[in-house]
Amino acid sequence: MTVERAAARAEAALRLARWDEAMRAAVELIAADPDDSTGFAMLSRAHLGKNEFKLAQKAAEDGLARTPNREWLHRLRCHALRLQGRYDDAVAAAEECVRLMPGASESHGARAKALAALGRREEAMAAYDRAIALDPHDALLHRELGDLLLSQAPAEAERHYRAALAINPSDAVTLNNFGASLARQKRPDEAALAFKSAILADPTLRVAKQNAHSTLSSQLGAAAGIGGALWIALQAVRVAGTVESGIAIGAMLLAGFAYLVWRLVQKIRRSERLEALKAKDQQLYEIFTRLEADKKAGRL
């Protein structure tokens, strides 16, 4: 196998998330030319894909031992360190990336992510702004900046999620986080639609399903707690046996009865809202009923 073919195979396997195949091709590349760091960079990427962060760090460092000024390897090392929770070291590695390639959006993006992990929010935002200025078409940068803004400025976050979705409309994580930004702005109808889109884009994304369920549940009203109402009524009857005043007993029984009626009304209203949801958005209704079943089965 030629060096070029091994490199092309490794790259293709990495893009297709075939990590083991990528590792094999990267190892062949290293065997073909141990002084070239490309194979080590690809090996590091494959380890990152398999969540083997220490091995990813080691591969990046092995590559850096051969070519100490390669920004790509510093960036991979930065990601591997951050994912191991070594945020200070990750920031230092990212700063080396920026020093080596100040015009690369990826360097600033890596630095921004490491700074955000370290809690240096203002610096992280500035780094993201710089990265986005260098490459406004990188959806991931917009999403990450949105994530950073979400808790304190949900409207700003929404703007960045929209920018990310304009570039990559089917990214499930962005759709979910976009929904979260809408929910924070008290726009539950729109949020539910965003969560639905996230679920359809990636049905394995558990957080989107949890978000959809909780948003729809609060819109529809909590399920009627008939059991709870009966418990209160029974408590009232039990207390009635120990209290002498007939008025107190009567008031307690009445309170229990009123609570029971209130819960029944809630249940009826919930059924009506569910019917309205079914008429308005059959797909969302079906997703909700499946989410309810999964919740009951402990799968959500």
Partner 1 sequence: MGDAVVQALRTALQVKDDPELRCALGDRLLQLGDKEGAVAEFDAALKLDPTNVRALEGLGKAVPVSRAPAPVASEGEVGGKPPLRLVTDEDEPPVASISFASVAGMEEPKQRLTRSFLLPLKNPAMVKQFGKAVSGGLLLYGPPGCGKTFLARALAGEIGARFINVGLNEVLDMWFGESERKLHELFENARRLAPTVLFFDEADALGQRRTQLRGSAGRNLVNQLLSELDGFAGKNEGVFFLAATNHPWDVDPALRRPGRFDRLIFIPPPDADARRALFRLKLEGRPVAAGLDEAHLVQKTEGFSGADIEGVVNAATELALEASVAAGEVVPVDDRLLLRALRDARPSTRPWFEVARNHAVYANEGGVYDELLAHLRSIGLA
Residues 44-103 that bind partner 1 (CB under 8 A): 55, 58-59, 62
Distance (Å, rounded) from C-alpha 129 to C-alpha 293? Answer: 43
- Among 30, 149, 216, 236, indicate the residue that binds partner 1 (CB under 8 A): 30
Q: Which of 16, 248, 261, 265 binds partner 1 (CB under 8 A)?
A: 16
Spatial neighbors of 220 by CB under 8 A, at least 6 apart, are 270, 273, 274, 277
Max distance between CA atoms of the chain, in angstroms, equals 96
Of 54 and 238, the one with the shorter C-beta distance to partner 1 is 54
Nearest-angstrom CA–CA distance, 241 and 53? 66
Could you tell me how many residues of this chain bind partner 1 (CB under 8 A)? Answer: 40
| 228-287 binders of partner 1 (CB under 8 A) | 287
**By the rule CB under 8 A, 9 interacts with partner 1:** yes
Tell me what percent of the chain is helix, strand and coil, each rounded to the nearest 5.
80, 0, 20
Minimum CB separation of residue 168 from partner 1 in Å reads 7
- Binding part of the chain for partner 1, among 8-16, 185-193, 240-248, 264-272 by CB under 8 A, reads 8-16
**DSSP, res 222:** P
Q: Are 29 and 17 in contact (CB under 8 A)?
A: no
* Residue 167 binds partner 1 (CB under 8 A): no
CB of 172: closest distance to partner 1 in angstroms?
11
Residue pair 240/252 in contact (Cβ under 8 Å)? The answer is: yes
| Sole binder of partner 1 in the list 27, 100, 118, 134 (CB under 8 A) | 27
Residues 31-50 that bind partner 1 (CB under 8 A): 31-34, 43
